[in-house]
Each structure stands twice: as structure tokens, then as C-alpha cells.
Amino acid sequence: MAPFAYIGRPLTNTEFIQYVRGYNFGPILPSFVVIHNSANPDASWAKLNNNPAIKWDRDESTLSTAEIIDKRTEQLAKIRDYYIRLGWDSGPHLFIDERWIWLFTPMAVVGTHAKSGNSYHDSAGHLHYSIGIETVGWFGQVGWPAPMQILIRTAVQSLQKRLANFAIEYHHAPTNDPAAHDHSISFHSDYNKPSCPGAYITPSYAIPILAAPLVPSYIKYRILAPCAVFTSRDPAAPLAPGPNHGQTWLAPNDIVNVGDLTDGWLWISPNAIDPPGIGFIPSSYANPV
């Protein structure tokens, strides 16, 4: 049996955008998405029952962020071990909770998560496969909480931009017809599990959330050397800032909020509630805090 394909790493919105932008999917690109819910484990924001033992976010009120990551990393590994006991060598590609996008099975690998929705071969014998996204919780009676909506939207739109081969739309089709869902969004209920991703997560609920404009998210960077803020990305501009570039200068050890990383340029904002931002700096002038 092949080793289980697994990563087990959490990413923030911005980290995931950067990760997908540089990700090598290999010769065959995934071309559709399947949305799931975990149900077990459930979560405080989407309970399956009142059993505190299976809550994804249980016993975290006194933990630091690093301790929460360690705890949830162990929990994710237990899900991997469960799949291994089922005889699988892969699982869903992403698990999304209210704080992170968790890398599970590498996205260049055909996952195991939706039976016929995992992959199919067309009439010419070409392989088509899906990205499986697990949303943590049981969404039989409630929808995705706002922080999770942002993360799911980020994941789907980052993949759409990188792959350029699917639309954020839903196609009604008979059960177990993955070809009808190719190049679009589908749900586990379209294949072999009617209760997943939860009765509340219908196409009419989910698609507008996934397609809504992304709100900029931020991670903090520390400035390494005196740096001008450029008013736009300019591939022809020298990396060393000069007097004719930008209106704002940053000093060493200044902390800035970075909303995006594109072609070696960091998009920065003075604070996390200022979406317009103030411009761009070369990425070589700052490191994540």
C-alpha cells in the first residue's frame, strides 16, 4: 500500500494565496471543486450533538495561538489515521476551520473524498479530478460562520485564479455524474453522501458566498532597510528605492500590514481596516513577523 499523501499544515488567507500562486500542480490540473463538512469532528459554531469530546475547538480558551495550532495539528493527524484505517492512501485536499486553511492531501494528488466525485476519465481517456474541501463542523442547521466564509472564499477564488479552468457556479445534474460538474463547484451530496456538506449548505446559499468579492486580509511584516513605498508595481523599476518613487518612506523595524504578494512586490496598508492601502514595496525589504 502506498504511503498516505499528507501535509498537515495550517495557512492564513494571505499565506494560502501565496501558496497557491506558486504551487506546482504537475501536468494534470484539477478542474472542479467538491465541498464537504466534517460533521465528526463538529465544532462550537456548528454542533452535531452536545458531546464535548468531539468538538474541533474544545478546551482552547486558555491556549495561545501556537498551542491551538499544535492541538489542532494532532487532531488533523488523527483524521488522517482514520482514513489510513479505511485503506485510503489520500484524503480531502483542504480542511477549513474558523482560523486557518489546513493543507491535508497535496493538491497535485487525486484525493479520496467523494467516490465518483474524486475523479473521472472522459471518452478520450483523459483524467479529470477535483479538489476536495472539508469545512469543519456539522452544517445541518446553521451556515458557515463569517470567518470561515472568508477562508472558504479565499481558497476557492485563489484556486480559480491559479487554475483558470473552473467557474464559481453550480450545475444541477443526476447523482454520480462528475462530468456534469467539471469546471464548476459541486457538493458531496452530488455523489455518494446526501447529508454532506449539511442541509443548510445548498448551492443557493454557498455559491454567492464563494463568489463574493474578497476582502483584503493581512499579515504583519517587519521592514529590513529604509524603503520607499511605490505607488504601483513597476517591473522595470530598480529594486533600490530612489527619490522619484512613492510618497512614503519606511524605516528599519517598522511593522506594516501586507495584504498580498505579487511578482516580488508586497501590497501594504497602514492598518487592517484600511483596504485602499498605501502602495507597494519590493518583497526583499521586509520579512514576515
The model's pLDDT over 179-208, given as tens digits with 9 standing for 90+, comes to 999 999 999 999 999 999 999 999 999 999
Band the pLDDT of 277: cuts 50, 70, 90: low
Residue 207 identity (one-letter amino acid): I
The model's pLDDT over 102-137, given as tens digits with 9 standing for 90+, comes to 999 999 999 999 999 999 999 999 999 999 999 999
- CATH topology identical between 9-211 and 219-288: no
The model's pLDDT over 15-60, given as tens digits with 9 standing for 90+, comes to 898 899 889 999 999 999 999 999 999 999 999 987 777 789 999 8
- Main-chain phi, psi angles of 194, to 5 degrees: -60, -25
Return the HEC string of 34-49: EEEECCCCEECCECCC
Q: Domain residue spans in the chain?
A: 9-211, 219-288
Q: Which helix (H) or strand (E) holds 221?
A: strand 219-223
The CA-atom distances, in angstroms, between 260 and each of 76, 215, 274 are: 28, 11, 14
Q: Which CATH number fits domain 9-211: 3.40.50.10950, 3.40.50.300, 3.30.70.250, 3.40.80.10?
A: 3.40.80.10
Q: Does 219-288 carry CATH code 1.20.1640?
A: no
